[in-house]
Amino acid sequence: MDDQAIGGGSGEQMGKSSAETADNSGPLDKRILSKNWSVRAGAYDELTKMSADAPDGCKAEFMKQHIGQWKVYLKDNNPGALEKALNCFNIFMGKIHKSVLTAEDVNPILSMLIEKCLTHMKPVLKKLAGESVLLLFEAFETFDESQDTLTALAGHKVPKNAAAGTVALALLLENFGVKKLRFQDYAATIVKNATSTNPAIKTAAYEFYKACYKWMGDAILPLIEDKLKKQQIVSVNQYISLKISCRMTLRSSLKK
């Protein structure tokens, strides 16, 4: 059985028992999947150091070996181990050459980051996961091959996953802009989420509109005013105003 941290802790409390039963011999790719928390922790530390020591734009064999396994590593149920995995992933992605990445690897990783990590109860894991999503696309440099995955996640039938998927879209749009992440590709999903009765999903959709406004200004209005009801547009405007001290220039018929 996995040595999962009790009560969502970082795992230090059970470190002794884990260390006592740890077998730190064998190849890294086996140790990093160990059921023993201490063994996994050591393996993540080793991969982190390998990544940190690698040159920028690295095409080394260990990069090719592990890129297809991140979708497994990021499933870790131990919060302490998952935090190490995310820290390792972020350093790994900061060094990888884009030629090592394919949509077949990127999209399962993206799904795991959003469904497993951005929905986590620990704020530190959510923060790291948000950074991971950005680093993943900074390395991959294309959104077209992930459009279906991003749309499916933002429209997920599980509310917490839909909210996290929409948060990810907002993060990506805010950081990469409307030329990289095209508003119209996700417009229908965001409109649906903006009218959701689930507060987390609705707020995430408003975050997306806020990111749009950052790049487009009032040019966003024609894209939403025929899709949302009057009060919904007013609510979006109020949200943007509250967050970035700017307001959309609404038509007079919408101001009342």
CA 143, CA 197: separation in Å to the nearest integer? 29
Local confidence band at 26 (pLDDT 50, 70, 90 cut-offs): confident
For domain 6-142, the CATH class is mainly alpha
Statement: residue 10 has pLDDT above 80: no
pLDDT at 23: 74
Question: Where do the structural domains in the chain lie, given as residue ranges?
Answer: 6-142
CA 233, CA 92: separation in Å to the nearest integer? 41
**Residue pLDDT, tens place only, 139-196:** 999 899 999 999 999 999 999 999 999 999 999 999 999 999 998 899 999 999 999 9
Lowest mean pLDDT among 12-21, 140-149, 195-204: 12-21
pLDDT at 18: 54
Q: Can you give the pTM of this predicted structure? A: 0.85
The helix or strand, by DSSP H or E, that contains position 61, with its residue range, turns out to be helix 61-67
The 10 Å Cβ neighbour count of residue 30 is 12
Average pLDDT over residues 85-98: 97
Local confidence band at 11 (pLDDT 50, 70, 90 cut-offs): very low
Report the sign of the C-alpha dihedral through residues 161, 162, 164, 165, in that order. positive
